Amino acid sequence: MRTKRQGLIVWFQHMKNIKQIKRFGHLIYVSKQRKYAVVYVDLLEAEETASKLNELPFISKVDFSYKPYVNTEFENAKMDKAKEYDYKMGI
């Protein structure tokens, strides 16, 4: 069974602290230029982990990802007319 996960966007000050951020969850992405990292943690432990990360001196702020709360089931999805004709060309 897959566990529900929550993405945390962690804004930091120095790249040398990435190793310490890694210990809090599954590190997915790090931006060197903008100095942020995307870390996935369990949904039930997200609040606790975010508060622990905020206490660290090299962390500027921690934001939550909205992905688990966005509905990805779409209704009445209509195909594009141009694409519909492209599929019928091979028949």
pLDDT tens digits, one per residue of 7-41: 999 999 999 999 999 999 999 999 999 999 999 99
If you write DSSP's letter for every residue of 19-79 in order, what string do you get? HHHHTTSEEEEEETTTTEEEEEEEGGGHHHHHHHHHHSTTEEEEEE--GGGS----SSPPP
Place of tokens 């929550």: 6
Contacts within 8 Å (CB) and 24+ apart, 73-77:
none
HSE-CB for 72 with a 13 A CA cutoff: 4
The Cα–Cα gap between 5 and 68 comes to 8
Per-residue pLDDT band for 1 (boundaries 50, 70, 90) equals confident
pLDDT tens digits, one per residue of 44-80: 999 999 999 999 999 999 999 988 888 888 776 666 6
This prediction's pTM: 0.75
